[in-house]
């Protein structure tokens, strides 16, 4: 009789890094082979699309969202808390930034309007996350389910605003607000749809999150929550307060990403599904691909953003594989990522017994 045992382990860093790189390369090879064989396309063309995707500067448009959002998720996941609501937190962050930009005097003041909009987006993301974690720590309601459902509430809340009271006067009936004032916009790089300011801010946040999680007593205690709430309590720190803090920081960073979407990319509020565009869900993969290490999140965000660009390229380029196949290719790569995570953390032992 065959008995299968799964035993937890921790591989050293010098093994995990090559393993992750190998999995990433295998995933890219699968994407090339799949697109080439199914549509009888020259592999050289597919490789060209792939290389260009990693070199395309438009990649920073996605990194600007994935990086801060995944940093926030890494805080919650390090505490053993399942925040699946980054999508909704991005959306309400965009809503908060739009409110400051369009409906307060601060939106017309240069520099002040930008800072105030992003701070309010930050706050809105944190506030949106509070409800789920309060229900978790005080009533035992699963936070994964709550945050997932709140994504759709955020969608419908923003849809109500852009179809109703916030609909612009000069948008010819489209469900969107008027453009935010020029003083409240972040300058884009010429010819591209991204700004350097959120990128530099996100890199600074990467350092701050790392120092917070690994060099402060509170951050270390947050990471210890994933092992035992009880042990943290015995150390003299409230596990309830730590859980709420971790979740609020997670939501706040996603809200910041939503704010930058308004100030840089859309420059107005649009329906919720267009703001989030699934990037909150993809940020979950970015966080796990980095093994929840803030220092590795920028590289993970770059890799996933490149795949985003690649999926668009093979849809509209000469390969023309269509949305379904493109998503299947990217999904396969992400599945391999999950496999690599399993291999890094567990080992399988097979035993035969008579």
- Domains of the chain, by residue range, sit at 60-290
In this structure, the strands spanning 346-352 and 2-8 are: antiparallel
What mean pLDDT do residues 314-336 have? 60
Residue holding tokens 């909704």? Answer: 88
Residue 317 has pLDDT above 60, yes or no: no
Among 16-25, 90-99, 317-326, the least confident range: 317-326
Q: What is the mean pLDDT of the chain?
A: 86
Task: Tell the burial category of 348 from Cβ atoms under 10 Å away from its Cβ (0-12, 13-18, 19+).
Answer: exposed
Average pLDDT score over residue span 24-38: 70
Q: What pLDDT, in 10s, does the model give residues 226-269? A: 877 777 777 778 889 999 999 999 999 999 999 999 999 999 99
Contacts of 330 (CB under 8 A, 6+ apart): 31, 307, 308, 310, 311
Q: How much is the pLDDT for 210?
A: 96
> Is 80 exceeded by the pLDDT of residue 148?
yes
What residues does 346 pair with on adjacent strands?
8
Residue 156 or 170, more confident:
156
Q: Is the pLDDT of residue 271 over 80?
A: yes
Give the separation between CA 314 and CA 129, rounded to whole angstroms. 36
3-state secondary structure of 42: coil
Please determine, for residue 336, whether its predicted confidence score (pLDDT) is greater than 80: no
229-239 exposure pattern, b = at least 16 Cβ within 10 A, e = fewer: beebeeeebeb
pTM equals 0.88
């Amino acid at each position: 009789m065959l008995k299968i045992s799964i035993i937890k382990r921790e591989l050293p860093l010098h093994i995990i890094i090559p393993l992750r790189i190998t999995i990433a390369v295998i995933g890219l090879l699968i994407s090339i082979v799949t697109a080439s064989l199914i549509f009888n396309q020259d592999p050289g063309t597919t490789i060209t699309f792939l290389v260009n995707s990693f070199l395309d500067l438009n990649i920073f448009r996605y990194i600007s969202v994935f990086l801060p959002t995944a940093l926030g998720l890494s805080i919650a996941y390090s505490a053993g808390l399942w925040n699946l609501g980054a999508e909704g937190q991005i959306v309400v962050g965009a809503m908060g930034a739009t409110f400051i930009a369009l409906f307060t005097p601060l939106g017309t003041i240069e520099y002040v309007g930008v800072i105030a909009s992003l701070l309010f987006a930050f706050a809105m993301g944190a506030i949106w996350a509070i409800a789920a974690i309060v229900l978790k720590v005080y009533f035992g309601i699963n936070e994964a389910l709550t945050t997932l459902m709140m994504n759709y509430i955020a969608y419908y809340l923003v849809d109500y605003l852009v179809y109703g009271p916030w609909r612009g006067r000069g948008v010819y009936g489209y469900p969107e607000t008027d453009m935010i004032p020029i003083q409240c916009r972040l300058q884009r790089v010429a010819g591209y749809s991204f700004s350097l300011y959120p990128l530099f801010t996100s890199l600074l946040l990467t350092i701050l999150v790392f120092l917070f999680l690994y060099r402060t007593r509170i951050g270390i205690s947050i990471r210890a929550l994933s092992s035992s709430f009880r042990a943290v309590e015995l150390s003299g720190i409230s596990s309830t307060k730590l859980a709420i803090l971790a979740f609020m920081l997670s939501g706040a960073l996603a809200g910041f990403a939503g704010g930058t979407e308004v100030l840089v990319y859309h420059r107005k509020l649009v329906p919720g599904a267009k703001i989030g565009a699934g990037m909150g869900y993809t940020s979950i993969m970015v966080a796990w691909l980095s093994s929840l290490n803030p220092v590795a999140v920028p590289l993970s965000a770059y890799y996933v953003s490149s795949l985003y660009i690649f999926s668009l390229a093979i849809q509209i380029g000469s390969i023309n594989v269509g949305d379904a196949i493109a998503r299947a290719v990217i999904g396969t790569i992400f599945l391999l990522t999950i496999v690599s995570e399993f291999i890094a953390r567990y080992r399988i032992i097979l035993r035969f017994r008579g």
